[in-house]
Amino acid sequence: MRILSIETSCDETALAILSVSGFFRPTFTIEAHKIATQIALHAQYGGVFPMMAKREHSRNIVPLFLVTLKEAGLVENQAEAAFSPDQTALITDTLAREPEMLELFLEEIPHLKKPDIDRIAVTVGPGLAPALWVGINFAKALSIIWNIPIVPVNHMEGHVLSVLVPKHTKEFTLSRSSFKLPALSLLVSGGHTELVLMKKIGSYAILGATVDDAAGEAFDKVARMLGLPYPGGPEISRLAEKARTENTHHTFKLPRPMIASKDFNFSFSGLKTAVLYHIRDTGTPDEQQVMEIAREFEDAACEVLVAKTMNAARKYAVKSIIVGGGVSANKTLAERLTAAAQPLDLHVSFPTRELSTDNAVMIALAGYFGKKVSIDSKQLTAQGNLSFKKEA
Ligand code: KG4
Ligand code: ZN
């Protein structure tokens, strides 16, 4: 089986082609893996604006698709390059809200012979609705032209499964050690902070989530207050590391919100505001103070994340821990969580750096395990707030 996957939930347009052979112990081959990032664009404004993200996806997705097909060796041109009037009308209707994509689609896709693709996996949520629609409508348009079924994918399931892909290889099987079930997944990104219990692949329940800002969002907002570029996570992390290496000493302490609460929810908005008040009270921080704030903030955020994750791991007696989402690239979080899990003999898995942020390989994996739906299914709509069910 060959899967084309599409991810446009936030600020990365990502496409991948994954082939799968064998049933009981399938072998996966990443045949293509492409990302067009909008980070530079959004960095100018300090954050992601949904309509701007939508327009970028809409401009980028067709050219990126051609490059992706080429990488997988699936481009074959056809001489009679034309859609029937019916096809043109259907595509025009499907892509009516994405005029940039429509124009490129009608220009480029008629030249292609149907590639050997058996299903299309597309992210339907959670994320920015206008951005999600670009991917969904692109999937529908391809499905109409080539009669390929579509599998809707929950972006967060993608982040959970991203740890299945090992480092430095395009071909892999699902190893038993990837994660032992039940597994606890800490999903930390710019839009989400959740603890998810995974009983098996396809069965997920939320144990707790942030009640306000996501962890990555807090990193980004604090970075902005400190005059650091977007995305802020890596910047904060770099400066915090520097403060630790130089062994600077700071006397102020930031709160660890909800660290002692019995539930598995998080709150990062108060932590962000505490940084704001600190800056207001002590004046614009100099270079050294920026480093110290970064360090104290990272310590506070990681402490809460580690404490809650370990509480949940104990309560649900899980056999392994998975970390997913952009913030999983944070070194301090990785080191401290791994150390905290060791006495319980719990293995903590992280995605490779490349697959920690949004990508389409993880969407293809989730699509492999997911179910096909008909093209007019309600599941093929942008579901900005899509979420796993709550654990009873
Ligand atoms: O998963 P992702 O790429 O996109 C979303 O779905 O949100 O996550 C992006 C987030 C950003 O907030 C970014 O600042 C954060 O992940 N991030 C980090 C690090 N690298 C990326 N946060 C902390 N430390 C890092 N090293
Ligand atoms: Zn994500």
What per-residue confidence (pLDDT) applies to 43? 77
Span from the CA of 170 to the centroid of ligand 1 (angstroms): 24
Q: Is 327 in the pocket of ligand 1 (CB under 6 A)?
A: yes
User: In angstroms, what is the span from residue 391 Cα to ligand 1's centroid?
Assistant: 26
Question: Of ligand 1's atoms, which has the minimum distance to the CA of residue 331?
Answer: 26
Residue 177 binned pLDDT confidence (cut-offs 50, 70, 90): low
CA–CA distances in Å: residue 160 to residues 137, 191, 353, 382? 25, 15, 14, 20
CA of 297 to the centre of ligand 1 (A): 15
Q: Which pLDDT value is given to residue 145?
A: 97
Contact 14, 61 (CB under 8 A): no
CA of 23 from ligand 1 middle (Å) equals 34
The answer to which of 59-63, 78-82, 272-276 has the lowest mean pLDDT is 78-82
Q: Ligand 1 center to residue 25 CA distance, Å? A: 32
Q: Does residue 375 carry a pLDDT above 90?
A: yes
Give the residue whose CA is nearest to atom 7 of ligand 1: 190
Burial annotation 314-333 (CB, 10 A radius, 16+ → b, else e): eebebbbbbbbbbbbbbebb
Asked whether 31 lines ligand 1 (CB < 6 A), one says no
The residue whose CB lies within 8 Å of the most ligand 1 atoms, and thus the one to mutate among 38, 186, 189, is: 189
| pLDDT at position 87 | 95
Ligand 1: which atom is nearest the Cα of residue 231? 14
Residue 162 Cβ < 6 Å to ligand 1: no
For ligand 1, atom 23, name the residue with the nearest CA.
233
pLDDT for 175 beyond 80: no
Is the shortest distance between the CB of 329 and ligand 1 below 6 Å? yes
Is the confidence at residue 47, as pLDDT, over 80?
no
Q: Is 125 in the pocket of ligand 1 (CB under 6 A)?
A: no
CA distance 326 to 49: 18
Average pLDDT over residues 2-29: 95
Band (pLDDT 50/70/90 cuts) for residue 140 is very high
Instruction: Provide the pLDDT for residue 316.
Output: 97
Please give the number of the atom of ligand 1 that sits closest to the Cα of 357.
Answer: 3
The dihedral through the CA atoms of 276, 280, 286, 291 has a sign that is: negative
Average pLDDT over residues 299-318: 98
CB 277 within 8 A of CB 307: no
**Predicted confidence (pLDDT) at residue 94 exceeds the cutoff of 70:** yes
The answer to whether the CB of 66 falls within 8 A of the CB of 72 is no
Ligand 2 centre and the CA of 215: distance in Å? 12
Q: Please state, in angstroms and rounded to a whole number, the distance separating the CA atoms of residues 2 and 23.
A: 13
**328/349 Cα distance (integer angstroms):** 10
Alpha-carbon gap, residue 56 to 204, rounded angstroms: 32
Q: Can you list the positions of beta strands (E) in the chain? A: 2-7, 12-21, 27-37, 119-125, 150-154, 171-173, 183-188, 193-200, 203-209, 320-324, 347-349, 389-390
**Residue-wise pLDDT tens digits, 220-247:** 999 999 999 888 999 999 999 999 999 8
Q: Residue 388 pLDDT more than 90?
A: yes
Q: Give residues whose Cβ lies within 5 Å of ion ligand 2.
A: 189, 358
Going by C-beta distance under 8 Å and a sequence separation of 6 or more, which residues neighbour residue 121?
Answer: 3, 4, 5, 6, 150, 151, 153, 363, 364, 366, 367, 368, 370
7 C-alpha vs ligand 1 centroid, how far in Å? 16
Residue 357 in contact with ligand 1 by CB distance below 6 A? yes
| Mean pLDDT for the chain overall | 95
Is residue 195 within 8 A of residue 204, CB to CB? The reply is no
Mean pLDDT to the nearest integer, 287-294: 96
- Which element (helix H / strand E) includes 238? helix 232-245
pLDDT score for 176: 67
